[in-house]
Amino acid sequence: MVIKARLILALVFLVLSVLVDFTSTILSVLSDGVLVAVAVTLVWPIFKPASKDQ
């Protein structure tokens, strides 16, 4: 019984470690996307052709 509980606990911790790494990767990609979007938003007026009304 103790061996089975230890194996289950070890398996749970292994799964949790994979989930934490996966979540960390997702959050890293999302934060990179936000930073790129902000940079593009800041630079957009420079590259956008001026309208004839201005």
Residue 28 belongs to some domain of the structure? yes
Count how many domains the chain has.
1
- Distance separating alpha carbons of residues 13 and 17, to the nearest angstrom: 6
Q: What is the pLDDT of residue 43?
A: 92
Q: What is the pLDDT of residue 53?
A: 62
Helix locations, the chain, DSSP H: 2-47
- Distance separating alpha carbons of residues 46 and 54, to the nearest angstrom: 14
Residue 21 belongs to some domain of the structure? yes
Q: What is the pLDDT of residue 39?
A: 96
| Domain span including residue 2 | 1-40
- Distance separating alpha carbons of residues 9 and 19, to the nearest angstrom: 15
- Distance separating alpha carbons of residues 17 and 28, to the nearest angstrom: 16
Q: What is the pLDDT of residue 40?
A: 94
pTM confidence score: 0.61
pLDDT tens digits along 13-54: 999 999 998 899 999 999 999 999 999 999 998 888 766 665
Mean pLDDT over residues 7-11, rounded?
95
